[in-house]
């Protein structure tokens, strides 16, 4: 298994710059004593940073405009259209951050649950933009643990016609095992994350992690 340091140097993995501000935000959402309102607020701040970083890795082309002073400005414009796809339920918490950065962006949804008998992820629901195969896709899910759900979701996108290289998987916290597992099957996607943690415990929980993101964000659990 790759170490967090080795993972962070992988060409397909983009980790946010470890600034003091980012570390303070991560500290707040990792704290089990953080109230739900604060967890939501500071998670949303990190999500916005992640979306902005992910957009920076999309292709751009030269684009000239004329400024109000009558001068030509040699700038850039996005080369292609994008969409978001959230892995339900926790991924839905990241949708607003994408909407804040991309006006009128189309967002699809994928629901994947683990089969209790086989322990394998199964697709239960998928609603995607009809023209998704022609778009760059930001796949949204806050946590990447084993990578099972992420791989299933990516497989759905690829079978729908999305080019593997046009998929950016955006998440807050990931485990090296999950990154290695995903990139083994889909080496052309890009993973954009805020933190690469030490690894998984015997129950496949990310350590140090931050608990169940969906429960804490949507308030469906009282204790963590």
Task: Compute φ and ψ for 90, nearest 5 degrees.
Answer: -60, -35
Question: Tokens representing 77?
Answer: 């414009």
Strands 106-114 and 143-144, how do they pair?
Answer: unpaired
The pLDDT assigned to 171 comes to 96
Q: For residues 103 and 96, which has the higher predicted lDDT (pLDDT)? A: 96
Residue 135 has pLDDT above 70, yes or no: yes
Specify the pLDDT at position 224: 36
114 as an active site residue: the answer is yes
Task: Using alpha carbons, select from 101, 149, 93, 92 the residue that is nearest to residue 123.
Answer: 149
- Contacts for 103 with CB less than 8 Å, ≥ 6 apart: none
Of 1-5, 40-44, 87-91, 96-100, the range with the lowest mean pLDDT is 1-5
Residue 118 confidence (pLDDT): 64
Q: Which of 6-20, 117-131, 170-184 has the highest mean pLDDT?
A: 170-184
44 is catalytic: no
> Quick check: is 67 catalytic?
no
> What is the per-residue pLDDT for 9?
82
Q: Could you say which of 67, 69, 118, 202 is catalytic?
A: 118
Q: Which domains does the chain have, with CATH numbers?
A: 4-63+74-218 (3.40.50.2020)
- If you search the block for the tokens 């969409």, which residue do you land on? 83
Widest pairwise Cα distance in the chain: 68
Pick the catalytic residue from 81, 99, 106, 114. Answer: 114
Which residue of the set 44, 100, 155, 212 is catalytic?
212
- Residue 221: pLDDT above 60? no
Instruction: Return the percentage of the chain with pLDDT > 90, whole number.
Output: 83
Residue from 100, 155, 185, 215 carrying the catalytic annotation: 215
């Amino acid at each position: 298994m790759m170490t967090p340091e080795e993972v962070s140097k992988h060409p397909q993995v983009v980790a946010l710059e470890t600034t003091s501000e980012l570390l303070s935000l991560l500290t707040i959402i990792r704290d089990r004593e953080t109230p739900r309102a604060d967890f939501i607020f500071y998670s949303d701040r990190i999500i916005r940073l992640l979306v902005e970083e992910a957009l920076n890795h999309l292709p751009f082309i030269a684009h000239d405009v004329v400024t109000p002073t009558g001068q030509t400005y040699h700038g850039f414009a996005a080369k292609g259209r994008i969409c978001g796809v959230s892995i339900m339920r926790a991924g839905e918490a990241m949708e607003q951050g994408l909407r804040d950065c991309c006006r009128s962006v189309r967002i699809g949804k994928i629901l994947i649950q683990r089969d209790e008998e086989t322990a394998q992820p199964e697709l239960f629901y998928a609603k995607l933009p009809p023209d998704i195969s022609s778009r760059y896709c930001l796949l949204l899910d806050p946590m990447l643990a084993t990578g099972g759900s992420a791989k299933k979701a990516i497989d759905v996108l690829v079978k729908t016609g999305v080019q593997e290289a046009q998929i950016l998987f955006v998440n807050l916290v990931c485990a090296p095992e999950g990154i290695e597992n995903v990139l083994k099957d889909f080496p052309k996607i890009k993973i954009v994350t805020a933190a690469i943690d030490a690894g998984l415990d015997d129950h496949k929980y990310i350590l140090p992690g931050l608990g169940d993101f969906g429960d804490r964000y949507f308030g469906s659990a009282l204790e963590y």
